Amino acid sequence: MNYQPSLPEHNDNVSHQHPVREFIILVSGVLAIVFMGYWALGLFVDVAVDYLSPEQEAQLQTKINIDWDWGEDVMPETQAKLQSLVDSLQPCVPLPYPITVNLVRPSENPDMINALAFPGGKMVVFAGLLDAVQSTNGLMFILAHELGHFKNRDHLRALGRGIVLSILTLLIFGGDSDFLAATINQRTANYSQSRESQADQTALNALQCHFGHVGGATELFESLQSQEGESDLGFAHYFSTHPELQQRIDNLQRLAQERGYSQDKTQELMQH
Amino acid sequence: MFVSNIEEIPGKTITTCYGIVSGSTVRAKHLGRDIFASVKNIFGGELKGYTELLGESRDEALDRMKSQAQQLGANAIVNVRFSTSSVAAGAAEIYVYGTAVTVE
Amino acid sequence: MDSLTIFLILLALGFVFGKLAEGRHYRSILAREEMLLRLPATSCKKPMGKTLPVGHAELVHGHVVISVDYFKQLLASLRNFFGGTIQSYETLLDRARREAVLRLKESCPTANEILNLRIETSSISKGNSGDRVGSVEVLAYGTAIYYREVSSQHSGL
């Protein structure tokens, strides 16, 4: 028996595909599955939310009690006035549960112009909004817009989608809480454009029902639009998920025309 | 290619020896099969998915070993041994090695 | 977002340094395999030169523990999800086994032949959860024989 020393020319025990290529293929596969899962579950949430009866919705609202720390109660009197404004809108936007208004001024961004609808019938109004609107009608439109989110159950949809998203991120990142919290916070007040314009529509109807005209409906959007170039006090952030301002104004005006809503003089904003 | 796990290929004479050749593979089944297997684990019985997985892995490892032997110019592999290990959880890892020889 | 940044940094570090280490290791393996080619290692139980008297025989072994890098570990877990060949572990195992055999041969450079070479793989950790390392340990062992009359220069057999 002879010994013939030799080595194989190429290595058959390893694949010669480039790892980066494999990585890209696998990651895009995972992302595709995740997006499909998110889309399907989101659709399921939408359907489930539509099937809820008003009683179930009211019951659900009382069970969810989110207690976020938005800073100190800065203006209790103004908050009470806002509450009465919201209550006066109730006959026009009927809801099976009470809405409580929280007026907040976040310390890190005191001039933020925003209002949010949270599960549990909690409406959060940022103090910056009161400085940005000129008339009661303009303010009422924003409040009615948030009531519209409640009426359309958008906050429940957002909550459901938030839960779906957190479960998915939990599955992928294995309970990476930092990342999770960031995504959930981002998602809670994040509605799609169609949801926003639907809420705008509800708000326009509520304004007509309450005042008998829709003057001041586009007031905030117009003033934001004129300010937009001058500074960026966080409007860009708030309106990133909202339809383009001009588009929103156009939609509202077209809708008002279609329904024959008139635009009368607006009321002076009460002092706060 | 003759392959055996004894010292020789019966009926043939070994003329040249080339040294050790080996083939290895690490393979896994997709998540669905893993989940199914863990459910099946409750009731017991054959885990068909994993049987298949090990079979495929073994075939591939053997092919790789044979290809290596061919590159050396051998026409048989004697004293072949299989070994397994678990580097990745849920994956089958098969290693097969033997001595590449020429027989006549 | 911090954890995501750390994750991406680890991924990039794993990819760059893992690739460098692998290239270096393969170059070293190929050079040493070439050098030690004169020392035959077989899985057979009898010496190839049956007529030569054996001076002495001893058990020799070589072992190595090699770890996979962060990038390849992620690649492996992704592949585990979809099924198929886990390519990122192939080079790890290949390197570990060749290194173990090389170390075995280097431990007995004057031997004439290594018989009944066996290679065992064991894993210290499986690397399926983030806090543990995915590594592989390979042990190669066999019997080195030294012929009495023949010097190592004439190991043509």
Task: Kindly list the residues of chain B whose beta carbon comes within 8 Å of any beta carbon in chain A.
Answer: 14-19, 21-25, 64, 67-68, 71-73, 101
Q: Does A13 touch chain C (CB under 8 A)?
A: yes
Fold adopted by C2-154: Translation Initiation Factor IF3 (3.30.110)
Yes or no, beta carbons of B28 and C97 under 8 Å apart: no
Please report the pLDDT score of residue A66 as a whole number: 60
Q: Average pLDDT of B41-54?
A: 86
The structure tokens 């070293």 sit at C28
Long-range contacts of A74-81 (CB under 8 A, 24+ apart): A74/A103, A74/A104, A74/A105, A74/A127, A75/A103, A75/A127, A75/A272, A77/A272, A78/A103, A78/A130, A78/A272, A79/A103, A81/A270, A81/A272
- Residue A189 is predicted with a pLDDT of 47
Question: Is it the case that residue B57 has pLDDT exceeding 80?
Answer: yes
Q: Say whether residue A21 is in contact with chain C using an 8 A CB cutoff.
A: no
Q: Is the ipTM here above 0.90?
A: no
**Secondary structure (DSSP) of chain C:** -HHHHHHHHHHHHHHHHHHHHHHHHHHHHHHHHHHGGGS-B-S-SS-SSTTSPEEEEEEEEEEEEEE--HHHHHHHHHHHHH-EE-HHHHHHHHHHHHHHHHHHHHT-TT-SEEEEEEEEEEEEE---STTS--EEEEEEEEEEEEESSS-GGGTT-
**Least confident stretch, A183-197, B34-48, B76-90, C82-96:** A183-197
Is the CB of residue B79 less than 8 Å away from at least one CB of chain C? yes
Q: What is the CA radius of gyration of chain C?
A: 20
Whether pLDDT at A272 is above 50 = no
Confidence of residue A233 (pLDDT cuts 50, 70, 90): very low
Residue boundaries of the structural domains of chain A:
19-259
Per residue in C116-154, pLDDT tens?
999 988 766 654 554 455 778 889 999 999 988 655 555
Query: Does B67 touch chain C if contact means CB atoms closer than 8 Å?
Result: no
Contact B7, B78 (CB under 8 A): yes
What whole-number distance in Å separates Cα of residue A258 and Cα of residue C146? 103
**What is the pTM assigned to this prediction?**
0.68
CB contact under 8 A, A19 and C79: no
Tens digits of per-residue pLDDT, A236-252? 545 454 556 778 888 88
Give the whole-number percent of chain A exceeding pLDDT 70.
79
| A213-227, B49-63, B68-82, C102-116: least confidently modelled range | A213-227
For chain C, domain boundaries: 2-154
Residues A137-154, mean pLDDT to the nearest whole number: 85
pLDDT higher than 70, residue C58: yes
Mean pLDDT value across residues B41-55: 86
> Band of the pLDDT at A209, cuts 50, 70, 90?
confident
Average pLDDT over residues A25-49: 87
CA distance to partner chain B, nearest, from residue A121 (Å):
41
Residues of chain C neighbouring A5 (CB-CB closer than 8 A): 37-38, 40
Which band of pLDDT confidence, cut at 50, 70 and 90, is reported for residue A45? confident
Q: What confidence tier does B21 reach under pLDDT thresholds 50, 70, 90?
A: very high
Angstroms from A217 CA to nearest CA on chain B: 53
The CA distance from A217 to A135, in Å, is 10
Q: Pick the residue with more confidence: B81 or A120? A: B81
Q: Which of C48, C71, C78 sits opposite A30 (nearest CB)?
A: C78
Percentage of chain A beyond pLDDT 90 is 2
Superfamily of domain B2-103, CATH level 4: Hypothetical protein apc22750. Chain B (3.30.110.70)
Of C53, C47, C65, C46, the C-alpha closest to C125 is C65
Minimum distance, in Å, between the CA of residue B16 and any CA atom of chain A: 5
Q: How far is C105 from chain A (nearest CA, A)?
A: 14
Contact across the interface for A179 and C3, Cβ inside 8 Å = yes
| Statement: residue B16 has pLDDT above 50 | yes
Q: Is the pLDDT of residue B4 over 80?
A: yes
Chain C nearest C-alpha distance from B32 (Å): 8
CA atoms of C34 and C55, how far apart (whole Å): 26
Whether residue C79 has pLDDT greater than 50 = yes
Q: Map out the domains of chain B as residue ranges.
A: 2-103
B40 — pLDDT class (breaks 50, 70, 90): confident
CB A109 within 8 A of CB A119: no
Q: Give the mutation candidate from B15, B25, B70, B72 for the A interface (greatest A CB count, under 10 A).
A: B72
Report residue A150's pLDDT band, with 50, 70 and 90 as the boundaries: confident
Chain A residues with CB under 8 Å of a chain B CB are 1-10, 12-13
C97: chain B residues, CB-CB within 8 Å: 22, 24, 95
A176 contacts on C by Cβ (under 8 Å): 3-4
* Predicted local confidence at residue A75, as pLDDT: 75
Residue A67 is predicted with a pLDDT of 60
Picking from C49, C87, C156, the nearest residue to A22 by CB comes out as: C87
Predicted local distance difference test score (pLDDT) of residue A178: 55
Token pair for residue A146? 């948030």
CB B93 within 8 Å of CB B57 = yes
Of the ranges A139-153, A200-214, A242-256, B6-20, which one carries the lowest mean pLDDT score?
A242-256
